[in-house]
Amino acid sequence: MSDNATAHTPSLDDLPESARRVALLLRERGHAGQVVMLPETGKTSAEAAAGLGCSIAQIAKSILFRRREDDAPVLIVASGANRVDEKKVAAQVGDIARADAKFVREKTGYAIGGVCPIGHATPPVTLIDADLFTLDTLWAAAGHPHAVFNLTPQELATLTGAPVVDVALRETA
């Protein structure tokens, strides 16, 4: 994190309930990182990056889709700099549709803007954007629109158990 004095690391007891759950889950899984609270929302990659003083690419955004075949949640953890290519995702997991806020809340237990890559109410089919592995450090949502935590791409793969694949939309000339 940059020397941004406005982002802070509160005590476990001072975290919002959903962020506290994430902090406890991270601790349980052996992750040493702390949950950091942003003064402004981190609902978008740009907002989170601005609050942390990092690049947009370092934001590991969690995007939830709904698999049409069985209504299973499909989580894509993508670089904040990338748009997700839904055709690439469908080639991996089957036909998908966008998830609405109600589906996201029911399946993850988190509100949009705070969806963490782990600790979902219904375990999702998860894919990790290969572009994240070009970076040394990432920031992911920690269960609340103002909460994030720091991790490496390898820690993300270990925490989620998800395959690393190309999911980025590449513009062709």
- Per-position b or e across 84-101, b if 16+ CB within 10 A of its CB: bbbebbbeebeebeebee
Distance CA 151, CA 132 (A): 11
Identify whether 66 is part of a domain.
yes
Identify whether 143 is part of a domain.
yes
Identify whether 81 is part of a domain.
yes
Residue range of the domain that includes 135: 12-165
Identify whether 4 is part of a domain.
no
Give the tens place of pLDDT for each residue, 61-92: 999 999 999 999 999 999 999 999 999 999 99
Identify whether 67 is part of a domain.
yes
Identify whether 103 is part of a domain.
yes
| Sequence-ordered list of residues with C-beta below 8 angstroms from that of 83, at least 6 positions apart, any chain | 168, 169
Average pLDDT over residues 17-27: 95
Distance CA 31, CA 23 (A): 9
Q: What is the CATH number of the domain that holds 27?
A: 3.90.960.10
- The pTM (predicted TM-score) of the whole model is 0.92
Average pLDDT over residues 43-66: 94
Identify whether 108 is part of a domain.
yes
Q: How many domains is the chain built from?
A: 1
Residue 6 has what pLDDT?
Answer: 66
Average pLDDT over residues 92-120: 96
Of the candidates 49, 54, 70, the residue with the CA atom closest to the CA atom of residue 136 = 54
Residue 173 has what pLDDT?
Answer: 54
Identify whether 50 is part of a domain.
yes
42-51, 132-141, 160-169: least confident range = 42-51
